[in-house]
Amino acid sequence: MSPSITRILGYQPNDYLTGPDFWRQHVHPDDIAEIEMKQGDLFRNGANWMEYRFRRKDGSYCWVSDEQYLIRDEAGQPAEVVGSLADIDDRKAAELACEAAQVELEKASRAALEANEAKSVFLANMSHEIRTR
């Protein structure tokens, strides 16, 4: 465990390795089921990449990107997991803002189309009224 874990999550490297449930207890409850399903990829494919929320030592959650690679021994048995964890809070915030802007754009687009349709109906009705008088 790298000392950079302290900068990212606030834990000392030894804190992270205190027990087998440390990681699971700190993953956001809404993310745990999907993440546990993806854990099998590490042993099937030799690699695993996940994004999830992890509780920092101060109690706040941050988005992390977690890449893991399985190292096997000469007999093909799992020997070690090597990986990296990166704080992706800023990127996730930008993605969420972009998604919210897209929703607003779609709403505005629908409203503009509805207004255009109403205008067309109005003009058609007025044209008919003028012609039939």
CATH 3.40.50.720 fits 3-88, yes or no: no
Partners of 50 in the beta sheet?
66
- β-partners of residue 82 are 69
Residue that wins the pLDDT comparison between 78 and 1 = 78
- Position 30 pLDDT exceeds 90: yes
Closest among 52, 51, 83, 85 to 68, alpha carbons compared: 83
Domain positions in the chain: 3-88
pLDDT digits (tens, 9 = 90+) for 34-59: 998 888 889 889 999 999 999 999 99
Rounded distance, CA 30 to CA 36, Å? 12
Confidence of residue 61 (pLDDT cuts 50, 70, 90): very high
Asked if residue 51 lies in contact with residue 27, where contact means CB atoms within 8 angstroms, the answer is: no
Is residue 37 within 8 Å of residue 44, measured between CB atoms?
no
